[in-house]
């Protein structure tokens, strides 16, 4: 087990009806004016935004609304929010929605005290500053990104087609209000994409170069087993509270860094985040591609390409999540080598994971997302700008490796 430092300063307020406590939670922390960031209408149509605003009014917290956050949130929109937060003299940014609204809120909060362009922070041309940075709070409506308790945020620069993440402890929200009933109205596709994203957050950390970390490995595999059990229930019965609640809680635990404790290298976040890096190019070039849907295609393709770099990691996943183990070629009198038995077990594990994603309605190929072979050169161009000529941890990947992975997923 590697050394690590873990802290989750976000207070989680979880359960039925907690949305009504939003105003009281903000007022108890002394906040007087909230910039309320939300998406493109679902929280308005479902009445969630109205209940949040009523709660703020009841608690005496003034508010300014800022709607329009899109999936794969845009830099331009965050810039507009920064200007509005300054004009309104907001002292807290409250996101109402999923990862897109929360990541937009984080970008706004970091950008308010910075005199330059907030994109400087995402390109690491400048470091975020704590002095004057606005706190972020959130009412979560879509379990997926895990942004409600993570140190991460991602924005897309539509002018350059670059999608960049920024990880800093300053990003962690001060409070996350999480009511599973708010997810009852999520379409099946969005539910499935969210579950896939949650699984990917766990697996990116699980597939690090560290050796076994039994406690963390059990946490990771247990979370995925729970998602395998709960996701079909939520899709079959959207108002299955226990299924929705467990998915929502898994989303938080998957990305608040608990799932990587002891697996990080030199104090950094565990894993190489190869699949996220390659998927970000898909959704940066076409924001209509749901992040989770892209991951459902890219992650299995990456796994099939790199598994020989560390078969034991894949065998552990197969055994603990899907009850798949290599056959004993001697005891079972199988006409195969032990190496072939391992390969069969690993590939069966990857197939099982992808079958789970597809059973929820996720795509199997890039073609289903409208991506063709002609698109790959452009994806590689921005991937190299984002990740460098080589990237990854379990196996270092060149741009030629990335090309082969994209091509294998067509």
Q: What's the first-to-final CA gap in the chain, in angstroms? A: 38
Assess whether 144 and 52 both reside in one domain.
Answer: yes
Output the pLDDT for position 328. Answer: 74
**How do residues 356-396 score in pLDDT, each as one tens digit?**
999 999 999 999 999 999 999 999 999 999 999 999 999 99
**How do residues 175-200 score in pLDDT, each as one tens digit?**
999 999 999 999 999 999 999 999 99
Assess whether 276 and 152 both reside in one domain.
Answer: no
Number of domains composing the chain:
2
**Domain ranges, residue 114:** 11-183
CA distances (Å), 360 to each of 38, 109, 174, 189, 280, in order? 27, 35, 33, 8, 21
| Domain CATH code at residue 260 | 1.20.1090.10
Angle between helices 311-322 and 214-236 in degrees, nearest 10: 50
Assess whether 244 and 367 both reside in one domain.
Answer: yes
138 burial level (CB within 10 Å; 0-12, 13-18, 19+)? buried
Angle 155-282-209 from CA coordinates, rounded to 5° = 85
5, part of any domain: no
2, part of any domain: no
Final residue before a domain boundary, out of 183, 211, 232: 183
Assess whether 222 and 126 both reside in one domain.
Answer: no
Rounded CA-CA distance 356/150 in Å is 26
109, part of any domain: yes
Final residue before a domain boundary, out of 150, 183, 216: 183
| Domain CATH code at residue 137 | 3.40.50.1970
Output the pLDDT for position 331. Answer: 63
Assess whether 229 and 148 both reside in one domain.
Answer: no
Assess whether 204 and 153 both reside in one domain.
Answer: no
Final residue before a domain boundary, out of 131, 154, 183: 183
Q: Give 10-residue mean pLDDT values along the chain (410 residues).
A: 88 97 98 96 94 98 97 95 98 97 98 96 95 96 96 94 94 98 96 98 95 94 98 98 98 96 87 96 94 97 97 97 84 77 96 98 98 97 96 96 98
Q: What is the pTM of this model?
A: 0.95
């Amino acid at each position: 087990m590697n050394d690590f430092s873990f802290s989750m300063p976000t207070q989680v307020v979880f359960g039925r009806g907690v949305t009504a406590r939003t105003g009281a939670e903000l007022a108890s922390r002394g906040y007087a004016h909230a910039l309320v960031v939300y998406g493109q209408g679902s929280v308005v149509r479902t009445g969630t935004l109205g209940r949040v605003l009523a709660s703020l009014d009841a608690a005496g917290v003034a508010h300014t609304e800022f709607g329009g956050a899109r999936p794969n949130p845009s830099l331009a929109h965050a810039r507009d929010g920064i200007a509005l937060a300054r004009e309104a003299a907001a002292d807290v940014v409250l996101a109402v929605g999923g990862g897109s609204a929360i990541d937009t809120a984080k970008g706004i909060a970091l950008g308010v005290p910075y005199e330059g362009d907030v994109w400087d922070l995402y390109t690491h041309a400048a470091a975020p500053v704590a002095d004057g940075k606005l706190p972020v709070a959130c009412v979560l409506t879509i379990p997926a990104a895990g942004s409600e308790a993570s140190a991460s945020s991602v924005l897309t620069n539509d002018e350059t087609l670059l999608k960049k993440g920024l990880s800093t402890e300053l990003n962690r929200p001060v409070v996350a209000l999480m009511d599973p009933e708010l997810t009852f109205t999520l379409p099946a596709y969005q539910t499935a994409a969210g579950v896939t994203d949650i699984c990917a957050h766990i697996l990116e950390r699980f597939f690090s170069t560290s050796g076994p970390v039994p406690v963390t490995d059990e946490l990771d595999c247990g979370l995925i087993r729970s998602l395998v059990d709960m996701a079909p229930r939520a899709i079959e019965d959207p108002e299955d509270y226990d299924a929705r609640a467990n998915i929502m809680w898994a989303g938080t635990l998957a990305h608040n860094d608990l799932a990587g404790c002891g697996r990080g290298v030199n104090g950094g976040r565990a894993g190489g985040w190869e699949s996220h890096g390659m998927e970000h190019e898909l959704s940066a070039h076409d924001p209509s591609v749901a992040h989770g849907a892209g991951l459902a295609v890219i992650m299995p393709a990456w796994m099939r390409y790199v598994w020989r770099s560390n078969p034991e990691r894949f065998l552990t996943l197969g055994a603990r999540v899907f009850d798949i183990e290599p056959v004993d070629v001697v005891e079972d009198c199988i006409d195969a080598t032990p190496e072939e038995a391992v390969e069969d077990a690993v590939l069966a594990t990857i197939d099982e994971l992808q079958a789970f994603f597809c059973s929820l309605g996720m795509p199997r190929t890039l073609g289903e997302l409208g991506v063709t072979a002609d698109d790959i050169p452009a994806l590689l161009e921005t991937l190299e700008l984002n990740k460098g000529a080589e990237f990854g941890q379990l196996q270092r990947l060149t741009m030629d490796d990335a090309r082969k992975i994209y091509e294998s997923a067509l």
